[in-house]
Amino acid sequence: MSAVTYVIYAFLGINILFNLLGSFSLHRFPDVYTRLHGATKCTTFGTIFAVLAVVVHAAYQLHLTGDPKYLQMALHSLVALVALLLTNPTGAHAIAKAAHLSGYKPAKAVIDAYEEKLRGGEE
């Protein structure tokens, strides 16, 4: 086993750890906003490392074999990563705003700044 294999295993380990943490946080948090917080951040971070593992694997295979399909695999994985990084926080923001506007209040919240802003009008 070369050093590249250990790097790939480390990236896959981080991917599995954070993706499973994101899935468990859906069941361990009390309301929509905390669940959104845990699930979105953890799964985005885990997926970054999944794509990085694939890129390292493809670059190593490209170095070993010289087959151009591995270059294609690395570049397309990076495009998928960019698409996910642009769309995932935007979708989470849209869900949180929609949940607040449709009447689901945060459980156990001490202060709700968005509610105060909506109630007080323009600052």
Partner 1 sequence: MIAPEFFYAAVIVMIGAFLALLRVFFGPSVPDRVVGVDTLNTLIVAGMVLLGAAYDRTIYIDIAIVYALLSYVGTLTIAKYLQGGLR
Q: Quote the CA–CA distance of 74 and 88 in Å, as a whole number.
A: 21
Contacts of 22 (CB under 8 A, 6+ apart): 38, 39, 40, 41, 42, 43, 46
Each residue 16-35 as x (binds partner 1 by CB under 8 A) or -, in order, gives: x--xx-xxx-xx----x--x
Using rule CB under 8 A, residue 7 touches partner 1: no
DSSP 1: -
Give whichever of 91 and 117 is closer to partner 1, judged by the CB atom: 91
The 3-state DSSP composition of the chain as helix, strand, coil percent (nearest 5) reads 85, 0, 15
DSSP 108: T
Among 6, 64, 65, 72, the residue binding partner 1 under the rule CB under 8 A is 72
**Size of interface with partner 1, in residues (CB under 8 A):** 49
Q: Given the rule CB under 8 A, which residues bind partner 1?
A: 8-9, 12, 15-16, 19-20, 22-24, 26-27, 32, 35-36, 39-40, 43-44, 46-47, 50-51, 53-54, 57-58, 69, 72-73, 76-77, 79-80, 83-84, 87-88, 90-92, 94-95, 97-99, 101-102, 104
